[in-house]
């Protein structure tokens, strides 16, 4: 099998087992399209700068175009090569052996691999951006559909205060917006062409770096050839951004898993996203969400892999860097799948209103409302907190609800309490009484839904 090196070696062939050990083709064949496209642009640049003739260019281009078509059709399946760059080179050499000797003029795989990966990332980040926006849209639809449904909000996994379900749904949209910003930010530092950096020192040939960058759609060219071939920060940043998405999806999945258990019981997940038990006939298990939760650990592991890979790695290129690809490609694939699945799953969610109502009948959830009611009547917050606490203590002792207490009993705890305390003991009043922007007050949440709809409408899907 043809190699891109070998001149200084006595032995022709590598031991097959060693060859297999060093090969990256299984992983980097995903870069075939980008490697071939860059090779085509490289040929055009060699012609523009007079390093190959018009005739040579005309011989090169149809071969590369044919290869591009093969790749697009999925019929190019290189296997026994050291890497994708050797495979593309071999495709040309086997069709134009003499000419192919000029293909590698002024370029090194050290820079090629970076440029290919940057092109791959740019395409895939654009897809991730779209997938985030689609999920945000699905969540806003869910919020609008269930706008006025009130559920218990939890802190420490204990019932805390009533909230609008739509308010929680919009919390997810906020998280995803930060994810989107991070992806866009990582994109900026990915959008740099390194071709013309050579193996590490640049080339002693008049190459047109700007031409390559423009043709491949890069914003700029790298400033330092050593940094260009050794920098993988953009990959770490991307996987870190993907990590955030995976962790966010995992937290959303966890909420859904909990709320759909019989113990919480107010959320129904579409059957297509659940599985049954081979033993227990009653089970409807949220396996898809559990896998979203579980797979975040894989990506967190990959982020760690990348940092460890770079730590203490001398400048410039070292073969260790070959190990950056699996973490990147796998993280990208997992997150893209998860975003798509989550978007469809969100469309199947249904709230079981009677279950939520029952949960809100436990009036202890209104204790903070009572404390704030007392503050509005001039009681210092600490005292108000103590008074509300005493009411709860009494109720627990007697095993009753707050509304089971008489006004006389309540007045014994504080003379600031009037009959209107009983008006506080319902979820609608609780949410409506919220005054702060960003709170769960339906008026604020409605505004937020409208503003997200407007914002997301402008985004292409």
For the bound state, the minimum distance from the C-beta of residue 330 to ligand ARG, rounded and expressed in Å, comes to 15
Our finding on whether 316 is near ligand ARG (CB under 6 A) is no
For the bound state, the minimum distance from the C-beta of residue 30 to ligand ARG, rounded and expressed in Å, comes to 12
Nearer CB in complex with ligand ARG: 190/440: 190
* Catalytic residue status for 331: no
Piece in contact with ligand ARG (CB under 6 A), picked from 158-166, 316-324, 328-336, 426-434 = 316-324
For the bound state, the minimum distance from the C-beta of residue 84 to ligand ARG, rounded and expressed in Å, comes to 8
Contacting residue, 11, 311, 319, 454, with ligand ARG by CB under 6 A:
319
Nearer CB in complex with ligand ARG: 24/89: 24
Nearer CB in complex with ligand ARG: 293/325: 325
Measured between alpha carbons, how far is 391 from 425 in angstroms, rounded to an integer?
A: 13
* Residues of span 78-117 touching ligand ARG by CB under 6 A: 83, 109-110, 113
Measured between alpha carbons, how far is 459 from 461 in angstroms, rounded to an integer?
A: 6
Contacting residue, 105, 285, 305, 322, with ligand ARG by CB under 6 A:
322
Piece in contact with ligand ARG (CB under 6 A), picked from 67-75, 317-325, 345-353, 381-389 = 317-325
Our finding on whether 321 is near ligand ARG (CB under 6 A) is yes
In angstroms, how far is CA 420 from the centroid of its own chain?
A: 48
Residues contacting ligand ARG: total by CB under 6 A: 9
* Catalytic residue status for 277: yes
Nearer CB in complex with ligand ARG: 37/113: 113
Measured between alpha carbons, how far is 337 from 248 in angstroms, rounded to an integer?
A: 14
For the bound state, the minimum distance from the C-beta of residue 28 to ligand ARG, rounded and expressed in Å, comes to 6
Which residue among the candidates 277, 297, 315, 451 is catalytic per the annotation? Answer: 277
* Residues of span 1-40 touching ligand ARG by CB under 6 A: 24, 28
For the bound state, the minimum distance from the C-beta of residue 266 to ligand ARG, rounded and expressed in Å, comes to 50
Measured between alpha carbons, how far is 125 from 188 in angstroms, rounded to an integer?
A: 11
Q: Cis bond leading into 316, ω under 30°?
A: yes
Catalytic center residues: 156, 277
Binding site for ligand ARG (CB under 6 A): 24, 28, 83, 109-110, 113, 319, 321-322
């Amino acid at each position: 099998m043809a190699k891109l090196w070998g001149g200084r070696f006595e032995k022709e062939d590598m031991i097959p087992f060693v060859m297999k050990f060093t090969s990256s083709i299984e992983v980097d064949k995903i870069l075939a399209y980008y490697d071939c496209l860059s090779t085509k642009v490289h040929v055009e640049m060699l012609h523009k700068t007079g390093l190959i003739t018009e005739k040579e260019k005309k011989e090169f281009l149809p071969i590369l175009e044919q290869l591009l078509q093969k790749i697009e059709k999925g019929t190019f399946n290189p296997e026994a090569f050291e890497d994708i760059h050797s495979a593309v080179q071999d495709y040309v050499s086997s069709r134009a052996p003499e000419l192919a000797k000029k293909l590698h003029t002024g370029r090194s795989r050290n820079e090629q691999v970076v440029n290919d990966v940057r092109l791959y990332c740019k395409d895939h980040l654009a897809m991730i951006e779209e997938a985030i926006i689609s999920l945000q849209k699905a969540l806003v639809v869910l919020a609008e559909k269930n706008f006025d449904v009130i559920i218990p909000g939890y802190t420490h996994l204990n019932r805390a205060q009533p909230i609008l379900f739509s308010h929680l749904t919009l919390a997810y949209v906020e998280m995803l917006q930060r994810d989107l910003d991070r992806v866009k930010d990582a994109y900026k530092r990915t959008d740099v062409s390194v071709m013309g950096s050579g193996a590490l020192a640049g080339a002693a040939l008049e190459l047109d770096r700007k031409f390559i960058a423009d043709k491949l759609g890069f914003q700029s060219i790298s400033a330092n050839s050593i940094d260009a071939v050794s920098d993988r920060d953009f990959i770490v940043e991307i996987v870190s951004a993907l990590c955030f998405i995976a962790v966010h999806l995992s937290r959303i999945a966890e909420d859904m898993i909990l709320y759909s258990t019989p113990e919480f019981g107010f959320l129904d997940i579409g059957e297509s996203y659940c599985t049954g038990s081979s033993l227990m006939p009653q089970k409807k298990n949220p396996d898809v969400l559990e896998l979203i939760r579980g797979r975040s650990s894989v990506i967190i592991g990959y982020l760690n892999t990348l940092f460890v890979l770079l730590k203490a790695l001398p400048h410039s290129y070292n073969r260790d860097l070959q190990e950056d690809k699996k973490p990147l490609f796998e993280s990208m694939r997992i997150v893209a799948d998860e975003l798509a699945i989550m978007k469809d799953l969100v469309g199947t969610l249904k709230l079981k209103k009677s279950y939520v109502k029952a949960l809100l009948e436990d009036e202890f959830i209104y204790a903070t409302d009572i404390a704030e009611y007392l503050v509005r009547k001039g009681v210092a917050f600490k005292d108000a907190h103590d008074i509300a606490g005493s009411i709860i203590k009494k109720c627990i002792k007697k095993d009753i609800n707050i509304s089971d207490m008489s006004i006389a009993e309540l007045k014994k705890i504080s003379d600031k309490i009037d009959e209107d305390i009983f008006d506080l003991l319902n979820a609608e009043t609780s949410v409506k009484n919220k005054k702060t922007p960003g709170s769960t007050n339906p008026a604020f949440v409605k505004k937020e839904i409208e503003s997200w709809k407007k914002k997301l409408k402008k985004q292409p899907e």
